[in-house]
Amino acid sequence: MIRVTRSTTVTATPEAVVGYLQDFGHAEEWDPGTRSCTRLDDGPVRVGSRWRNVSRVLGRETTVEYTLVELRTDGVVFEGRNAGARTVDDIRVAPAAGEDTTGSVVDYHATVELRGWSRLAYPLMHLAFRRLADKTVEQLRRTLDGLRT
Q: What is the pLDDT of residues 114-140, one digit of tens each?
A: 887 665 565 556 666 778 788 888 999
Give per-residue pLDDT as tens, 46-90: 999 999 999 987 778 999 999 999 999 999 999 999 988 899 999
C-alpha separations of 10 from 49, 87, 131 in Å: 26, 25, 21
Domain 2-145: which CATH number of 2.30.110.10, 3.30.530.20, 3.90.1150.10, 2.60.40.420: 3.30.530.20
* Domain ranges within the chain, ordered by starting residue: 2-145
Q: If we measure between CA atoms, which residue out of 29, 54, 20, 9 comes closest to residue 136? A: 29
Model-level pTM greater than 0.75? yes
